[in-house]
A = this chain, B = another copy of it.
Amino acid sequence: MNAEHATARQPYTSPLGDERSARFTRWLTRTQMSVRDHVGEFVRDRCRAELDPRGFSLPGQLMLEFASGGKGVRSVFVYLGWLCGGTGESEPALRAAASAELLHAFALLQDDVMDESPLRRGRPSTHRRLAAWHRDRGLSGSSDRFGESAAILLADLFLVWAERMLRESGVGAAALERAWPRYDAMRSELAVGQLADLTNDAALVPTVDAVLDIARRKSGNYTVRRPLELGAAMAGCDDTVMTLLGEYGEAIGEAFQLRDDLLGVFGDPATTGKPLGDDIRERKATTVIALADQLAGPTDRARLRALWAAESIDDRGVALAQTVIADSGARQHAEQMIQARVEQAHRSLDSADLDSSVADALRRMALLCTHRRH
């Protein structure tokens, strides 16, 4: 808990070092802390009302930890979308934005069950901890099965609570009316994207286009573009701003996912909180793997494909795959793709008529999301 909080509370380190940067960092830290406070307050209230009376202390504790353990990227983007409307800072809008953490918690809990992930943020994943609870009590039946089912139910609660937190945020009926169609679309897209991911998780190394398509629709849209659009819709932004945010969001969403994919292959477990080479071990269909398959010579490509087709990948296999991927040039290629997307997003902002401090914050968020170590 302590180590996790220390990581979570520390904002991204901005690569720009001037006075504006310091101002942005203060704003971001304050916003992230407010998001965490709002989420904590809401989840504690709901636990008190819905879980405590039934004697469920562990589920509530896990939910509180989980919901407030993130970096709040999605909430920050919802709030930046809101600020594009020009009506200035607003506590209700911040509360509405913070509800994105609960939606994200829903998605992560379910993903971890479906991927059978043992770890999340460097600790045993929620279904594992629920399974351990079942085992410790000596309850009958499969503890693993219990852990997975219970985690799915906590995810359900997160999904319901997320929408409730948004509805009860106080942003007003007109803002909500504008938000719902986008909110519904985002939630459906999330489930449908995950479904596409599951049907794609084959023994074959995927193509770059197929993977980028998933990345765009699933993680990218849902991390940057949809949150931004949701906030902007709440604020009543016009079509010009919506289009611009859509372009920015799509580019940075893809770059965010490319960074995630690089971290999944080369990331340091000490900062990612995930095992070394996790995406290789799980044979995830990621951009970096697809790029390596495209760029590698025939021998290395054959090696990579053989690994993917094997029953399982051990530590030696992970090391081999890392070498093949690095030698193929996929790493630099992915870095170039990230760079190109950041530049494109910055160009989109140049053409826009946004409040200068909001545009500045969006520029800096683009860098933070794409130059990070976890």
Contact = CB atoms under 8 A, between A and B. Distances in A.
B50 A198 contact: no
A110 B157 CA distance: 13
Interface string A154-170: 10110111011001000
The CB with the most chain B CB atoms within 10 A, among A56, A114, A141, A195, is that of A195
Contacts of A46: 188
A177 to B, nearest CB: 9
Contact of A54 (B59, B180, B196): B196
Work out how many copies of this chain go into the complex.
2
Contact of A152 (B114, B173, B188): B114
B192 A56 contact: yes
Nearest to A142: B116
Given A152-B152, A173-B173, A203-B140, A160 B191 contact: yes
A139 interface: yes
A146 interface: yes
A299 interface: no
Interface residues of A, number: 44
Contacts of A41: none
Nearest to A133: B199
A348 interface: no
Interface string A26-68: 0000000000000000000010001100101001000000000
A199 B167 contact: no
Dominant secondary structure of chain A at its interface with chain B? helix
Nearest to A140: B203
The CB with the most chain B CB atoms within 10 A, among A51, A110, A198, is that of A198
Contacts of A149: 113-114, 198
A201 interface: yes
28 contacts: A50-B188, A50-B189, A50-B192, A54-B192, A56-B192, A110-B156, A113-B152, A114-B149, A139-B199, A140-B201, A140-B203, A141-B201, A141-B203, A146-B199, A149-B198, A150-B195, A150-B198, A153-B194, A153-B195, A154-B195, A156-B190, A157-B188, A157-B192, A160-B184, A161-B188, A163-B163, A164-B180, A173-B173
Interface of A: 46, 50-51, 54, 56, 59, 110, 113-114, 139-141, 146, 149-150, 152-154, 156-157, 159-161, 163-164, 167, 173, 180, 184, 187-192, 194-196, 198-199, 201-204
